[in-house]
Amino acid sequence: MKIINLEGVIGPEATAADIRKELPKGSERVRLDINSPGGDVFEAFAIYNALKDYPGKVTARVCGLAASAAADIFFGADEREMYTHSAVMYHRAWTFAYGNAEELRSEADILNSLDEIRIKDFERITGKTRDEAMAEFTNETWLIGSGKVLEKGISVRVVDSEEGGIPVTEPEARKRVAEAKKTLTGIRKKENQRGAALQKIAALAREKKDAPAQAVADNSQVEGDEKMDLKAFLEKNPGAESEILALAKTKIGPVVEEAVKAESDRIQGILALAGVRFSDDVKQALSGGITPEKYAVNALTKQRETEASLKEGNGLRPGYVAQTPGEQTKGAADKINAVTEASLKALIGELRGGL
């Protein structure tokens, strides 16, 4: 028998992908050990469905707590087990939402639909009517200990052993569920804040798009009969600048960098296939998005530095090789000229390859 652990908050800490990875390839019997305060109902649905798709028999065992969405998974198993020192809690679905009256009504309708699905297994394993089951979910039912679970008519086998059975008290269980709600609420708040910021930016973009063409050309906006420049617009909308800059940094910047890198890789690949060789300087110029003009300046600067390094204490100026016998011998002059000529050829090769 394969034992799979479902622990922590469903969604942030326990996922359907984790469970699927653990499921055997064949139809070996599986025991799902649950110790979870619940979590995201849709992720719980995914876990539920993964277990339903599994061809073998699945037994869900409560080893500590099966609350909220974790209770749905417990109720949906082929068989149920629990320790005497464990707990089950079930309630109606909840969420964190914002918006107008119609949007909130829509959220409420979604929650009602979720509850209609979730109580089906509870009705099946207890034999209770829909109204009875819905009443227990509405009242948020806490069942501390296997005795309470059996009293509610939930079919379950009690398994006690020294190695299992984590003692659970109602205050501890309620605390874990509250922490799970706090975690999920924080995630939902961040998603809502991000969505609100994007909506504001979209609204600003629409305002700019709807403004007359002349106003856009003049970097200003028309409001009624009054012409408003960008500075006045930002003063009237103090949060707009930071939101636009943040969007540009997080959305536009990475896209530009990725595009530059992709184009650099494309050029280097073509040149390599053509048998063209180029130095590390050229590669850096391509990958860094440097313009031909900037590269030429850098190359000439490097050439000047190379010429300067050729001085051997004989008063030579960069770019000039003295020929007077009193300044240096012809052999030394030929040596320096040869080095300078080689470096110039290298420069020409780089410029041809990079430009």
- pLDDT at position 168, please? 55
Distances (CA, A) of 350 to 76, 117, 293, 308, 344: 69, 69, 13, 20, 10
Contact yes or no for 10/187 (Cβ under 8 A): no
SS3 for 29-56 is CEEEEEEECCECHHHHHHHHHHHHHCCC
CA nearest to 34, candidates 2, 1, 9, 5: 5
Beta strand 157-158 with 79-82 is parallel
Contact yes or no for 31/52 (Cβ under 8 A): no
- pLDDT at position 260, please? 67
For residue range 84-107, what is the model confidence (pLDDT) as tens digits? 889 999 999 888 777 889 988 998
DSSP state of 10: B
- pLDDT at position 291, please? 72
- pLDDT at position 42, please? 92
Place of tokens 């997080």: 250
For residue range 123-165, what is the model confidence (pLDDT) as tens digits? 998 999 999 999 999 999 999 988 899 999 998 899 884 444 4
Q: Which long-range contacts (CB under 8 A, 24 or more apart) does 236-239 make?
A: 237/204, 239/200
CATH assignment of 2-189?
Answer: 3.90.226.10
Those residues of the chain that have pLDDT short of 50 are: 161-165, 213-225, 312-314, 316-329, 355
- pLDDT at position 55, please? 95
Residue 152: Cβ within 10 Å count: 15
- pLDDT at position 63, please? 92
Measured CA to CA, the distance from residue 193 to residue 84 in angstroms comes to 43
- pLDDT at position 282, please? 72
The answer for residues whose C-beta is within 8 angstroms of residue 346's C-beta and 6 or more apart is 279
Q: List the domain boundaries for the chain.
A: 2-189, 292-354
Q: And the tokens for 238?
A: 């103090």
The answer for residues whose C-beta is within 8 angstroms of residue 218's C-beta and 6 or more apart is 227, 229
The backbone torsions φ and ψ at residue 56, rounded to the nearest 5 degrees and listed phi first, read -85, 175
DSSP state of 316: P
The backbone torsions φ and ψ at residue 277, rounded to the nearest 5 degrees and listed phi first, read -105, 140
